[in-house]
């Protein structure tokens, strides 16, 4: 399964993606996490991204596209993945389309979490408070100033992706202001509907891959094998039977008639 979680910062993409990872045994690919790891490790990408991220602006497309291209080629992404925080611009979405097409893969769904700005600010403040309480460093961009810029960037550059994926028939939008479990249930509903549709749309030949359809060719093969073996045997059997029958008939004919 290959999914995209779309939504503004603080919408709960990461929380829901994590749950889907456990449920579907696929990997979560968060470009934000990857970039933060690069910043921490002070790699060349991390050094380029550090200040841009702290300001709440978007890292250049070429950098994130290269990171994602590399990541989805790794063996653990073969079974599927959830992209969280990518794509964030139309050129990134186009680059992703090209990446997937080059691998003969397709996107299964894009799930958009819709959340009002006021709620996002509360969530970001709460996340920063909880991180601080755990004694962990608070994200440089989890503050009202950076959030304002992140939101402005989201509406200008990322929100148009909803229309982009709606045109492709891939978009499902959910009320991201419901509880975590309600949002999770909605996502599950969407995914099982998609799975059902995919199954129904599979051509009959492909459905032959199912257990029921496999049973038919096996039965035919069985019959063939039997008849392939049997011609010689059945010829012998019928020869024996006819030779057994003929004397009996002859004997019956020769039997003297009672007076
Ligand atoms: P996130 O953890 O998804 O909120 O991302 C944190 C920050 O990482 C963003 O504000 C951007 O500066 C940067 N970032 C993450 N993903 C992308 C992306 N797809 N394109 C550009 N910048 C990104």
CA 123 / ligand 1 centre spacing (Å): 17
Residue with tokens 């969407």: 190
pLDDT per residue as tens, the chain (259 positions)? 999 999 999 899 999 999 999 898 899 999 999 999 999 999 999 999 999 999 999 999 999 999 999 999 999 999 999 999 999 999 999 999 999 999 999 999 999 999 999 899 888 888 889 999 999 988 888 888 888 899 999 999 999 999 999 999 999 999 999 999 999 999 999 999 988 887 888 776 655 444 544 444 444 444 444 444 444 444 334 444 444 444 444 444 444 444 3
150 as an active site residue: the answer is: yes
Indicate whether this model's pTM tops 0.95: no
126 as an active site residue: the answer is: no
13 as an active site residue: the answer is: yes
Which atom of ligand 1 is closest in space to residue 53's alpha carbon? 12
C-beta separation of 141 from 56 below 8 A:
yes
CA 138 / ligand 1 centre spacing (Å): 16
Q: Give, for ligand 1, the residue of 32, 49, 65 to mutate: max count of ligand atoms closer than 8 Å to Cβ.
A: 32
**Using CA atoms, how far apart are residues 107 and 172, in angstroms rounded to an integer?**
13
């Amino acid at each position: 399964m290959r999914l995209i979680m779309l939504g503004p910062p603080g919408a709960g993409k990461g929380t829901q993606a994590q749950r889907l990872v456990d449920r579907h045994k696929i990997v979560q690919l968060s470009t934000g996490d990857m970039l933060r790891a690069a910043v921490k490790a002070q790699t060349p990408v991390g050094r380029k991204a550090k200040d841009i991220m702290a300001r709440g602006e978007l890292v250049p497309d070429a950098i994130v596209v290269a990171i994602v291209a590399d990541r989805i080629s790794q063996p653990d992404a073969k079974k599927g993945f959830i992209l969280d925080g990518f794509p964030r611009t139309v050129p990134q979405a186009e680059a992703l389309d090209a990446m997937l097409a080059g691998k003969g893969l397709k996107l299964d769904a894009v799930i958009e979490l819709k959340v009002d700005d006021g709620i996002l600010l509360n969530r970001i403040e709460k996340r920063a408070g909880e991180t601080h309480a755990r004694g962990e460093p608070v994200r440089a961009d989890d503050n009202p100033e950076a959030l304002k810029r992140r939101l402005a960037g989201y509406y200008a550059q990322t929100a148009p992706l909803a229309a982009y994926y709606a045109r492709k028939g891939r978009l499902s939008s959910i009320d991201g202001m419901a509880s975590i479990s309600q949002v999770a249930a909605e996502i599950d509903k969407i995914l099982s509907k998609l799975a059902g549709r995919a199954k129904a749309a599979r051509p009959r030949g492909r459905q032959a891959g199912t257990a029921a359809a496999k049973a038919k060719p096996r039965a035919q093969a069985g019959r063939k094998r039997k008849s392939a073996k049997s011609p010689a045997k059945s010829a012998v059997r019928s020869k024996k039977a006819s030779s057994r029958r003929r004397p009996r008939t002859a004997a019956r004919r020769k039997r003297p008639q009672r007076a």
